[in-house]
Structure 1
């Protein structure tokens, strides 16, 4: 009788364990990967809204409040406002690049002064919320900051015109905490073409442009190829000694917009061991004017890149607060978990996403690239 009871007890125990394992498998959602790896978004333009709306008066911005229905920052008042702390927390954001952007009209005029102003407001913004945000300048500090319950906050510059063709300024920006520079915005610089060649001249990547790339490699600054022309993408990838990023770009084969990355360049990104952080902007992910962009469009871009060059070379670069239209299902920064849930559904004809794959997409791919760039110093 004792042996029977032991056997019965063992059987019950094994059954319970089996049910528990089955339950854990069945209840896992894609968003759960964001509890074991930080979601790192490559591009958020909230700092430009600080300037555009508040003249950088941070005391008038209530980051800690849900601003969806705010009279100034709400969806009915501001078409390009998608960010606040409650929604970042709901979105499980663990790391964010805050962008210092100045318009192309400032080139050859006051771009340096305006860029410094924007770096200043980013730093003040981070310092204003020490319980929620922490300035991070090294790859190794991202996960530590996230595990401590804070958003790892990094600084980027969008547009090489902010350099005023000066390597000294590049180095000084690095000392101020900037960790990537987008080589152009929507205007050419004297040394690199933008995605739209805007003045009839074709510079491609000049000798000085190559020197900029080499210096960024040397000091450990990430080279960002979003916004550059397709040919400049190829030229940079042919010479860089470090992996590159596309901080907020999508796949040209899925939507033939000049801002997206062609397949031949994607193959070069794989060879370079770099990363394309997929943009959410409706106009970049859906080229079909007969319908609105949806979350599925973003899934299609992510899956195309993953199918073509592998899961190790894709990330997230939402472009929130920098554009006026986001896809249905990705309306603001609270919606990232829905994207990860959708990817994990692994629908017929789509690649299978494991938890490890989703962790790579979320942030581990970017951390790997960032570490490799740091190693070049």
Structure 2
């Protein structure tokens, strides 16, 4: 009897290992076979800080071609991120053009690896050719600079969504991060801009904007909108940058979607608390020693504290956000918006770079998501919304 019992345990353990292995194998198969869209990767801004060739393996950062191919990524939106101060000093448009130039230079250096799509059909052709298709998403509409001519200029350069603002309220919209709310939502120009984006076929991105601005966008837009890199406020109470359940439901009712940000402080309240405590300790250290944050002493103290005290989220925390949104509105309204190369060293265990998507998919499979569910999450949902925006714009453009 004892031998039978031991044999049963061995068989069960073997079966458990086999199931896990099969999930991993299936996950890798799913990312290879489907279009995998990531709504937000900050490679262009990263390239302003370091001179690297992301067509080859790089030592740092979260993205390069070999790791992207390994992870199954084939349609990452390149974030054309414009810091808030660029609007203040009048350089936002030139800066955006510079970042787009850098993406075009990636394509010129590696035409066999990268391409920029001007349409959904071009994206699909580029993916079929084995290339990474690099649609552009402008993060912070400051570069529009109050001009529809500029909007058309960026559309012609490949921009297919615009995050209306970023860390500060701008001439378009109030920001979720800014206590100053000059527009109580959208400015008058911002309201006209939403309609003009619809007309051109540029998706409206509601990440970063204030709650008031979000509700105004939904009222104004004739087509579904996206949140390109946000997560569920349910897990981070009081963090306006994430989306409330009410907002997620309204977004889905309008046909839109939320693309989950992987940054630990977007995912975990414990991570947010640890980050706040670290920041407070750094501030005290600087003040008591009469230092600046740029001083070597302050930098070393901050690095040591973050290394020792920061609480990282993990893969299961990220999967909880997917589950929560699925249970609220269904899988037709969920996607991936990792924020790779945009959240520093705050990525969760198991999701550290663009080679990690199979880990996410394996987790979804283990939680009962079907292959069809995962196909939608990987890219199908975003491609559907892009197509609706594109179809709406076509007759408008004649």
- TM-score normalised to structure 1 length: 0.84
Equivalence for 1:87? 67
RMSD over aligned CA atoms reads 1.9
What is the CA–CA distance in structure 1 between the aligned matches of 2:175 and 2:28, rounded to whole Å?
36
Q: CA deviation at 1:259?
A: 1.3
SS in 2 for 1:93: coil
Per the alignment, in what secondary structure is the counterpart of residue 392 of structure 2?
coil
> What whole-Å deviation, never above 9, does each CA across 1:113-143 have from its counterpart, x for those lacking one?
1111111111121222111111112112323
1:330 aligns with 2:330: no
**2:44 matched to 1:63?**
no
Task: State yes or no: 1:280 paired with 2:262.
Answer: yes
In the alignment, structure 2 segments of 5+ residues that lack a partner are 1-18, 275-310, 394-398
Matched position secondary structure for 2:149: helix
TM superposition score normalised by structure 2: 0.80
Distance 2:347 2:265 in 1: 9
CA contact (8 A) 2:114 2:134 kept: yes
Aligned residue in 2 for 1:178:
159
Deviations 1:222-278 (A, max 9, x none): 111111011211110111001101111111112232211111111111111111111
Alignment of 1:192-341 (within 5 A): 192-199=173-180, 201-256=182-237, 257-288=239-270, 289=273, 291-324=311-344, 325-341=346-362
Are 2:365 and 1:344 equivalent residues in the alignment? yes
After TM superposition, give the deviation of residue 200 of structure 1 in Å. 5.6
Counterpart residue number, 1:6 = none
Unpaired runs of 5+ residues, structure 1, are 1-22, 55-60, 69-73, 75-80, 347-351
Q: CA deviation at 1:197?
A: 2.4
Does residue 104 of the first structure (1) align with residue 92 of the second (2)?
Answer: no
- CA distance 1:147–1:200, shift in 2 (3 Å): closer
Q: Which runs of 4+ in 1 moved over 3 A?
A: 25-28, 198-203
Give 1 or 2: higher helix fraction: 2
CA distance 1:130–1:304, shift in 2 (3 Å): same
Moved more, 119-128 or 367-376: 119-128
- Aligned partners of 2:55 and 2:170: how far apart in 1? 38
The 10-residue stretch of structure 1 (122-131 or 284-293) with the greater mean CA deviation from structure 2 = 284-293
2-side partners of 1:34 and 1:311: how far apart?
17
CA distance in 2 between counterparts of 1:103 and 1:84 reads 23
Shift of 1:309: 0.6
Q: Does 1:146 align with 2:146?
A: no
| Residue of structure 1 in register with 2:286 after alignment | none
1:30 to 27, 32, 39: 27
